[in-house]
Structure 1
Amino acid sequence: MDLLVIGSGAREHTIARALQQSSTVATVYCLPGNPGMQLDGIQTVAIEMTDFAAMIAFAQAKKVAYTIVGPEQPLVAGVVDAFQDAGLAIFGPRKAAAALEGSKTFAKEIMAAAHVPTAAYQTYQTVQAALAALDDVRYPVVIKADGLAAGKGVVIAQNDVSARQTVQAFFEQGVPQLLIEDYLEGEEFSLMALVANNRVYPLPVAQDHKRAFDGDRGPNTGGMGAYCPVPQISDQCVAEAVTTILEPIVATMAERQIPFTGVLYAGLIATQYGVKVIEFNVRFGDPETQVVLPRMTGDWAQVFAQLLKGQIPTLQWQSSGITLGVVVASDGYPTQSTTPFVLPTLQQFAKRNSTFSFASVAEQANQLVSAGGRLYTACYSAETLDQASQQVYRDLAQLALPTTFYRQDIGFRTQVK
């Protein structure tokens, strides 16, 4: 069968590669994809993710068995509704359910209805109201822009000056409203689950590193690296999260006639008072996908086919070892973009032991060049974190460019007591 993946990042590269490893799959198309995907023989398609009509026409012409949606933007815009209305199989939430990520206030309302633990918050529609509220908060405080922000719509303000600057900046950017919520302390982790027919199938947990620089310093990013599994998060903690968070959310959505199908991503924190929700996403995380999907020893193409047929998926996981992923970004990320520069050739990447998933890259004069932001993720699986880390960082050092940077400490929290 032929399959289609919608998106252009390292997450979509990872999904497409995983699907392609199935003996039942002939061709995997990625729309629009990126030139780095050629490394794995993935067929890229020059159609924009906003052009639903062209996407549907392509899927029909190629007779793809089903489509997987990577990023949040097309989901929130209703791509699943459009494909299903055209009679095409597609895995992801419909537009109404995608609001769980598209609107932070909607997510908070669903959490309240489902009695799911999360931080206390207030919503503000004007800069004056938000600034007035800062007179009564305890620092640090979390300020969130309501709506999609590519992982950069959250600021942890340590003091009043920072908080007021953040509020002003968000409203100047045209944010319709923002949330000011309590700061939660504890161990953060990402729990993704496949959801179909109101049943939840959790994947192994991962831990993302959102800050740009070593030691969790610098601005929030879309994610600078991850690892899976997370030894400091117990099986009991994960089981608690599934039964007290994921399952009630799915049940509440169904009760409200907004059934959820797709990938439900919970950004969670294990506090001294139990597991609480930081955020929900309605798709695979990036870079978590790059370290979670390779842990499955079965057939990803069959897993999605089973879910779309209403069957229980066959999920088999590696019982030992760890997978580490490190993101390489252009200098200036996430606040500034740089002039495109030439990257190593795909042949040079292929010589390394790490697996590379490409993101913000382009092709100019038959050369792979940067396109700003996160460029690629390097992943390696080993028995220990140290072994995986040594291999990834050895490979990255051999490919290093003066106009890029990456964190040198991905996985450091496994050592923090």
Structure 2
Amino acid sequence: MKILVVGSGAREDAICKSLLKNSDNVVFCAPGNDGMKMAGIKTIAINEDDFDHLTKFVQTNNVDYTVVGPEEPLVNGIVDFFKRKKLRIFGPNKIGAQIEGSKSFTKKLMADAKIPTADYQEFTDLKQAHEYLKTKVSFPIVIKADGLAAGKGVYIVRILDDALEIVSELLDGHKFNTRKIVIEEFLEGEEFSLMAFVDHKRFYPMPLAQDYKKIFEDDKGPNTGGMGAVCPVANISSEIEQTAIETVLRPFVNELYQQGIKYTGIIYAGLILTKTGIKVIEFNARFGDPETEVVLPRLESDLSEMIDKILNHKKIVQVEWQTTGLNLGVFAVSKGYPQKPIFGNLGDKEIFKNCPLPVNYAAVRKEDHKLYSNGGRIYLIQTSASNLTDAQRIIYQQLDQMDQTNIFYRRDIGKNSI
């Protein structure tokens, strides 16, 4: 098959490489990045929001179907655009993508489906939000931008003054183009991620993963798009996993269908195991990042055939996953990330070509045989091992050999999976 993957990050790199496990496939990535190109992925210089040129490329090159990686084109209606031109595309339509595009939309869905989540209030008015913070809440709390914010629109706030400032930035300064916020209770417990392939009422869960969003060790500092991930999650039992599937994933998929949303694509559930049980932190409308980089390498079934069957609404009899060991991925990010990333030289490209471990490229550009950072999260190095200790030793030995001038990484990824 000929397949187009839309996006440019490490997640899309991982999707492409999983599709290329079938050597008969030809895989394009638009726009991709220079690291992917160096790794042999066919990148196409079309932006992910240029729906017209993307569809023309698909038609001209007889692409069998398209896979959408990032959330923004999904929320902006890329699937609807492709379908109007009778082109096959894997992802939810614009209405379905609102599970990520609008926190309030998803909270209402969860209430209808009786799925447990944090108590919350919505605000569009700054004065009302400030009054609520001053009189109605006990800290810590969570403040969320209602729309897309590239993984950075969630704040855990411990004091009133900080809360007032953040709400002002969002509702008055319109940071992340925010017009509505959600203020919700702070949940304590063990976080984990559950993703699934979805075909209307049918769904196929993936192994649990755990990502690390805070910039510093011991989960300190501001949220990022994700500093690394591990799969599976050793300290979440198979019983808890099954409970999550039956009390969160199944009712959510059913609710979407009952409300007339025929969802096709990936559903990502960000979950937390609290003292009173599993609760939902968020739903996303696509593969998680960086979870995808550690989950898809464990897939033994043919990803391209699975997606083809889902697009044809044919039942997948069985999905095969690796059942031993674990996969660990750690992001190298630009110094200064997430507030003010400093871009710079990453070293000679041969360092990456000779790297013995799988590398998923994100914000990378090539110039004069050297690679340079071109954003906050630069590349993820991934490994598999029989246990966490070995995986951490392997991956940090390799990261420590990379040029350290302009990169930073957490040294405790996987710490919860002991």
Q: Provide the TM-score with structure 2 as the length reference.
A: 0.97
Paired residues, number: 413
Shift in Å, 1:353: 2.4
Tell me the secondary structure at the aligned position of residue 301 of structure 2: coil
Partner residue of 2:337 out of 327, 333, 342: 333
- Report the Cα distance in structure 2 between the residues aligned to 1:354 and 1:111, rounded to whole angstroms: 40
Relative distance call for 1:43 and 1:49 in structure 2 (3 A) is: same
The separation in 2 between residues aligned to 1:274 and 1:46, in whole angstroms, is: 46
Letter in 2 for 1:332: G
Give unpaired runs (5+ residues) of structure 2.
Answer: none
User: Is 1:399–2:398 an aligned residue pair?
Assistant: no
Answering whether residue 380 of structure 2 is matched by residue 377 of structure 1, we say: yes
Hey, what's the Cα distance between the residues in 1 that align with 2:220 and 2:118?
23
Alpha-carbon distance in structure 2 between the residues aligned to 1:353 and 1:237: 35
Partner of 1:100, secondary structure, is helix
After alignment, is 322-331 or 129-138 more displaced?
129-138
C-alpha distance in 2, partners of 1:102/1:278? 14
2:417 is matched with 414
Q: What do residues 110-133 of structure 1 show as CA deviations (whole Å, max 9, x unaligned)? A: 001111100000001111111111
Deviation at 1:228, TM superposition (A): 0.2
Q: Would you say 1:13 and 2:1 are equivalent positions?
A: no
- What CA distance in whole angstroms lies between the structure 2 residues aligned with 1:73 and 1:84? 17
Whether 1:90 aligns to 2:89 is yes
Residue aligning to 2:195: 192
The answer as to 2:130 corresponding to 1:127 is no
Per mean C-alpha deviation after superposition, the further-off stretch among 305-314 and 323-332 is: 305-314
List structure 1 runs of 4+ shifted beyond 4 angstroms: none
Aligned to 2:159: 159
Shift of 1:366: 4.3
User: Counterparts in 2 of 1:95-134, with a 5 A limit?
Assistant: 95-134=94-133
- Find 1:321's aligned residue among 325, 328, 332: 325
Asked if structure 1 preserves the Cα contact closer than 8 Å seen for 2:346 and 2:403, the reply is no
Aligned-partner Cα distance in 1 for 2:84–2:90? 14
Q: Secondary structure at the match of 2:104?
A: helix
Pair 1:390-2:390 in alignment: no
Instruction: Please report how far the alpha carbon of residue 40 of structure 1 lies from its aligned counterpart in structure 2 after TM superposition.
Output: 2.9
TM-score, scaled to structure 1: 0.97
Which consecutive unaligned segments of at least 5 residues does structure 1 have?
none
Separation in 1 of the partners of 2:365 and 2:148? 24
CA distance in 2, matches of 1:363, 1:195: 37
1:353, 1:391 within 8 Å by CA — same for their partners in 2?
no
CA distance in structure 1 between the partners assigned to 2:391 and 2:417 by the alignment: 13
Query: What does 1:244-393 correspond to in 2, within 5 Å?
Result: 244-313=247-316, 314-338=318-342, 340-393=343-396
Q: Which moved more, 1:395-404 or 1:378-387?
A: 395-404
Structure 1 residue 310, shift from structure 2 partner: 1.6
Q: Deviations over 1:144-173 (max 9, x none)?
A: 011000110000001112211211122212
- Write the letter of the residue equivalent to 1:229: P
Structure 1: distance between partners of 2:37 and 2:50:
23
Supply the distance in 2 between the matched residues of 1:318 and 1:208 (Cα, whole angstroms): 19
Q: Distance in 2 between matches of 1:355 and 1:23?
A: 18
- 1:140 corresponds in structure 2 to 140
